[in-house]
Amino acid sequence: MQRKLPHSNLYLREEELRRGIELLYFAYRDFTKDPDDILAQSGFGRAHHRVLYFVGRNPGTTVSGLLGLLRITKQSLSRVLGQLVDEGYVEQKPGEVDRRQRLLYLTDKGEDFEKKLFATQRNRVAEAYKKAGPEAVAGFWEVLLNIVDEDQRDTVLRQIEK
């Protein structure tokens, strides 16, 4: 596969930085489109998706765990999470060790829905991985990880290597 390599010595030139910034914007724009369409049909939005996704990936997580991962306020999360609980996508169980906590789990309904949402992004990313090849994928991961705030990289690594 022919690939244009960034300039070996001066690869930090304006043009190449612009390219990364723009690709990130366009890729993210399209990446979020498919699940957004499905969510809209159920009266949900992107925020519901994130909650479903991270609760699915981290069953038994607490509200504050989710707040730390999503980095939004509890008032914002509360509205979204409340809807998901009300409509039976997420269930809360009191923590056994610390009974102030509400441990979060997807219900069967929530799992089915999350799978449906995931499938669209999964297909898109799988296609992109296939076209780009394994080495490109490794580079993709590495650059993205280094774009994350330095003090968040450990948290992200723990999350993605779960």
Partner DNA sequence: TTAATATGTCAATAAGGCTGACATAATTTA
Partner DNA sequence: TAAATTATGTCAGCCTTATTGACATATTAA
What whole-number distance in Å separates Cα of residue 83 and Cα of residue 101? 19
Is residue 74 at the binding interface for its own copies, with CB under 8 A as the rule?
A: no
3-state secondary structure of 159: helix
Taking the least distance from each CB to its own copies, the nearer of 93 and 115 is 115
CB of 84: closest distance to its own copies in angstroms?
18
Closest to DNA by CB, 14 vs 98, is 98
Least Å distance, CB 22 to its own copies, is 5
Figure out which of the listed residues 62, 83, 92, 121 binds its own copies, where binding follows CB under 8 A. Answer: 121
CA atoms within 13 A on the CB side of 55: 30
Smallest separation, CB 118 to its own copies (Å): 8
- Sole residue written with tokens 């009266």: 43
The three-class DSSP label of residue 129 is helix
Phi, psi of 104 (to 5 degrees): -105, 135
* Residues 39-68: x where in contact with DNA by CB under 7 A, - otherwise, as a string: x---xxxxxx-x-----------xxxx---
Query: What does 43 interact with, of its own copies, DNA, none (CB < 5 to 8 A by kind)?
Result: DNA
26 touches which of its own copies, DNA, none (CB within 5 to 8 A by kind)? its own copies
User: Tokens 């699940």 map to which residue?
Assistant: 35
Q: What is the DSSP string of 9-56?
A: SSTT-HHHHHHHHHHHHHHHHHHTHHHHHHHHHTT--HHHHHHHHHHH
Please report, as a single letter, which amino acid is at residue 86. Answer: D
Q: Which residues bind its own copies (CB under 8 A)?
A: 3-8, 11-12, 14, 16-31, 33, 50, 57, 71, 118, 121-122, 124-149, 152, 156, 159-160
